[in-house]
Every structure is written in structure tokens, then in C-alpha cells.
Amino acid sequence: MGGDDLDVARRLLPDLRLTLVAELGGGGRSSVRRVRAERRDGSSTSLIVKQFHSAGEGWVRECAALSAIPPGAPVPRLLAESATPPVAVLADLGGGACVADALLGDDPDRAAAAVVGWAEAIAALHVASRGSRPAFAAALQERAGDLPVAESPMRAELDDAVRVLDRDCGSLGVAVPTGAFADLRGLADRLGDSGPAALTPADACPDNNVGVDGRLVLLDFEGAQWRNVAWDVAYLLVPWPSCWCCWRMPDDVIAGAVAAYRSSASRAMAEVGDARFERDVEAAALGWALISTTWFLDNALGQDPVTNPDRPTPTRRAMILHRLDRTAGSDEVPSLADLAGRLAAELRSRWGNVPLALAPAFDSGPR
């Protein structure tokens, strides 16, 4: 790679003169850069060059998903790609605000509107991609080579959660209720692809989006998969199981966003308007609460360090207790509620009561 790491993109786009504009971060799995692309006639445009740090599932899933999703969906357009080294060139959507910006702000109405906007963007993606499974499967196979990449890893995710919960409950002295692990694994069938399913970025966190022309566009498809749409809608109830930006939200904000999703998606996916769908979303929320507990419990049992001192973030202990308490109060899957209650009681005896604060925007005064 050259001094500005754009040599691969230059080979992919030989008719454009690329100049680095800004480093946009990207995290531990990739580096993201904004570049100016000048055409031979002197006109120019802005592009995003995403370089993946390893030739793993991230590049495969992102490029496969963006190539399979029909035009018009709220996702960035894939312009070029390279497998070796793994690079994706995307249309630049600009530097608009994301949902996390609104949650970090001081305007509760703006934050509530942003959460509704997220729900509507997820609905628009689900509606647009609901017929894209064959194209996604083919795109995955084309790019994966010898790498085993499943259309949906949710069954494996649930199996991993059972394994970790079995270990941690044993070490903590928490008795696992009869049938709880079977019921947790059983969510893979209950919320499988036989119900309403679509393509999803999976890691649809409040900072993985950008406001463009009055609507949100979803970013970061490194975890893209095909799965039941209830798993995405349940992100609102937990909330945000895979994200640092996981403060508590007011009940009316959550209800409004779920209603916005159902109103938008039910026009093309009638099942999301049914009463059963409400129960499936609740079941998915129970699943996320326990799955995400297994992701963060080791650190929470240690010193519970702040992951990024430069931005406000709930502690893992507060996050875990909130999710377990919410699960314990559910009557959708009694064995999982019982397990969550027992685990929460044991952790609270060790940590004391660690409440999860409202997102800063909702904690700034009455709505």
C-alpha cells in the first residue's frame, strides 16, 4: 500500500484521481477513509474507502449484502471491491448526524425522533430486501471461498450463549432452571427464517447510521445476515444489545419506535402487524438479554473498566443488571425469566444495585 493506503482503490478505479481527505476511524476490524475522486473532465465526487484488517467474514458479509440489496434501500452503494487485500469502495453519504449523536445531546424530542427514524430505516431495509435471500446466498458463496460463512449465525450464537451461561452459572453458584437452556436454543427455531425474514446489518447500533436528506441510512454491514426481523426490532427493547450507546430509554419512546416499524413494514410484510409478532419480538429481547450478558460478564466480574474514557458509556454491570431485570419480568418464556432473575440476584449481591441511567438526552429534563 502507498503512503496514504489508497493504492488498492486506485487500481479498482483507474479513471479517477484519488486524494485522501480524512481518516474516519473504523475500529479494530477496519480502517475507513474519505477520499476525493476527481474525474478526467475535472469534476469530482467524494467516496469512502474501507480497508478490512483481515480477509475474514467482515469483508465477505459487507460486500455480499450491499451487492444483493436492491436499489432504493437505505444503505450505501457499493462501487468497487477487492478480495486481496480486502477493500470496499462505497458512495460517500456525507457527515450527517447519527442516532447516537441525538441520544448524547440535550433535546429529548430530537432523540425520540431519531429513534423512530432508526426504526423506519430498519423497516425500509427489511421491506426492500425481503426477496433477496437467493442473491445474498450466492454473493456470500462467491466471496467466501473456503471460509465457512453462514447466511445466519443466530443458531451458533445461541449455542455459544448456552455454553458460556452453563460455565458462568456454575462458577457463580446459580442453579439453572430445568429447560432453560433448551428454551434458549429453541429461539433459533421459533425465530428462524420460516417467519418474516430479511437482510440485516445485524450490528445496527445507534452510531452505525447517518442522516441523509431527512432520513437515516444504515452503515456497517460487516455482520450482515439473513434472519427473522424480530431480532432487529428487539434491539429497541433491550436496548441496543451490541452497542456502547445502550442507555435506558423511556417506555413511550420505545413503544413509539416499535409502532413506527410495524406501520412501515406491515404494508409489505403483513405478519409484523399480527399479535404473534409482538410475542416474537419479546422472545427475541429475552434472547438478546442473555446472549449479550455472556459477551460482557467476564469484564463486569472484573474491574468493569470504561471502554472509552472520551465518551459517556454505561458500565457493563449496569447494562447487564438492567437486561436481566427486564428479562426476569417477562412472561413470554418462563424458564428464561427464571434464569435471568436468579442470575441478577447473584450479581446484585456482589455488585449492589447498579441502575442503568437514561440516555443523556432523556435525562436532561421532562419531555
Query: What is the pLDDT averaged over residues 221-250?
Result: 96
Rounded Cα distance between 296 and 141, Å, is 32
pLDDT, residue 112, reads 98
pLDDT in tens, 170-219: 999 999 999 999 999 999 999 998 789 999 999 899 999 999 999 999 99
Q: Which long-range contacts (CB under 8 A, 24 or more apart) does 350-353 make?
A: 350/301, 351/300, 351/317, 351/321, 353/321
- Count other Cβ atoms within 10 Å, centred on residue 252: 10
pLDDT, residue 366, reads 52
3-state secondary structure of 13: coil
pLDDT, residue 306, reads 66
Q: Could you tell me the pTM of the whole model?
A: 0.94
Q: Does the pLDDT value for residue 1 go beyond 50? A: no
pLDDT, residue 226, reads 97
pLDDT, residue 307, reads 63
Rounded Cα distance between 93 and 22, Å, is 14
Position 344: which residue type?
A
Rounded Cα distance between 312 and 141, Å, is 40
Give yes or no for a contact between 281 and 233, defined as CB atoms under 8 angstroms apart: yes
pLDDT, residue 194, reads 78
The grid coordinates of residue 240 equal 441496543
- pLDDT averaged over the chain? 94
pLDDT, residue 365, reads 55
Give, in order, the Cα–Cα distances in Å from 96 to each of 203, 209, 210, 232, 284: 19, 9, 5, 23, 31
Query: What is the pLDDT averaged over residues 128-137?
Result: 97
Give yes or no for a contact between 36 and 44, defined as CB atoms under 8 angstroms apart: yes
DSSP state of 234: G
Per-residue pLDDT band at 4 (split at 50, 70, 90) = low
- Count other Cβ atoms within 10 Å, centred on residue 281: 25
pLDDT, residue 243, reads 92
